[in-house]
Amino acid sequence: MDSNDFKSNDEITWCPGCGDFGILNSLKKALAALGRPPKDILLVSGIGQAAKLPHYIKANCFNGLHGRAIPPAVAAKIANRDLTVIVTTGDGDCYGEGGNHIMHNIRRNVDITVIVHNNQVYGLTKGQASPTTDLGFLTKVQVHGVVMEPLHPLEMAIALGCGFVARGYSADSEHLSWLIQEGVKHRGFALIDVLQPCVTYNKKNTYEWYTKRVYKLNDDASYDPGDKYAAYRKAAEWGDKIPLGIIYRAEKETYEDRRGINKIPPLIEEDIKDIDISAALKEFI
């Protein structure tokens, strides 16, 4: 398989140069390398520029409400565990409106992969501050600068017990594709936060700004992603140097293990022909 097996015919409506293109290409490469056909893949998103990504890949797609991508992804995985379920979401969608869902689904630990396109703004709605926007950043709404401290998603995920916490960069497609493959192979909830320049609304954290600072953590054999406290310190590193890679990894029991779900046939295989739904139909139609 190659990336072309996942090509969709939808017209792409992102700005030229948007970091979302790098994430799209990396995901297609990763899916090709994983070798699963489009019928076995479900991409789930909410609303935003990032959330348009599933339209641009040939696979199953569920495009729901703003901030609510994770709940249907979790439900779909539990009902049909043979699917590879991947969420593509923005920093606003995932950490803002969907903040509750990411927190508690990290705790639930269903086997899905969440890719956050972190451009540090609300791109679709024209550049307002998101939870990851830097303190003091000026926008057309935050005209005196952002007054709230930014949320640190990797530190949050490690503190919540997420078993796979990684950071990618949209301009390093080979590396991001590898991270996505590792995230999908991980059993349990995997979070991949991707640094994604927004060429229209974030003139601060540009390609130039990131490219000068990022370095690859997993090139350093002495770094142990299994050491939670070292990982927490790494996740907090931000400034002249910004680490990319698998920051924290731990094998854990999943929700499916704890509930014994893997031992019974998936919901999708249940025979529903004898279930009488006439009363429900009468009430709601």
Ligand X SMILES: Cc1ncc(C[n+]2csc(CCOP(=O)(O)OP(=O)(O)O)c2C)c(N)n1
User: Does 142 interact with ligand X (rule: CB under 6 A)?
Assistant: no
DSSP secondary-structure letter at 204?
Answer: S
First to last CA, the chain: 45
Give residue number: closest CB to ligand X. Answer: 90
DSSP per position, 6-68: GB--SPP-SPTT-THHHHHHHHHHHHHHHT--GGGEEEEE-SSSGGGGGGGBSSEEEE--TT-
Closest CA to 215 of 156, 167, 154: 167
Determine which helix (DSSP H) or strand (DSSP E) holds 217, and give its type and residue range. none
Bridge partners for 245 per DSSP: 167
188 binds ligand X (CB under 6 A): no
Between 109 and 130, name the residue whose CB sits nearer to ligand X: 130
In angstroms, the CA 251 to CA 4 distance is: 33
Nearer to ligand X, 123 or 168 (CB): 123
Is 205 an interacting residue with respect to ligand X (CB under 6 A)? no
Cα(271)–Cα(274) distance, rounded to whole angstroms? 8
- Residue from 19, 54, 72, 92 touching ligand X (CB under 6 A): that is 92
- For position 101 contacting ligand X by CB under 6 A, the verdict is no
For residue 239, the one-letter residue type is G
Q: Binding ligand X by CB under 6 A: which of 22, 123, 153, 188?
A: 123
Q: Check residue 217 for interaction with ligand X (CB under 6 A).
A: no
Distance (Å) of CA 120 to CA 91, 143, 196, 236, 262: 7, 16, 8, 17, 38
Choices 48-56, 80-88, 141-149, 180-188 (CB under 6 A): range interacting with ligand X: 48-56
Among 50, 162, 190, 191, binds ligand X (CB under 6 A): 50
Does the footprint of ligand X cover residue 93 (CB under 6 A)? Answer: yes
Q: How far is the CB of 114 from ligand X (least distance, A)?
A: 13
Least CB distance to ligand X at residue 161 (A): 24
Size of the site for ligand X (CB under 6 A): 18
Residues that bind ligand X (CB under 6 A): 47-50, 66, 90-93, 97, 117, 119, 121-125, 130
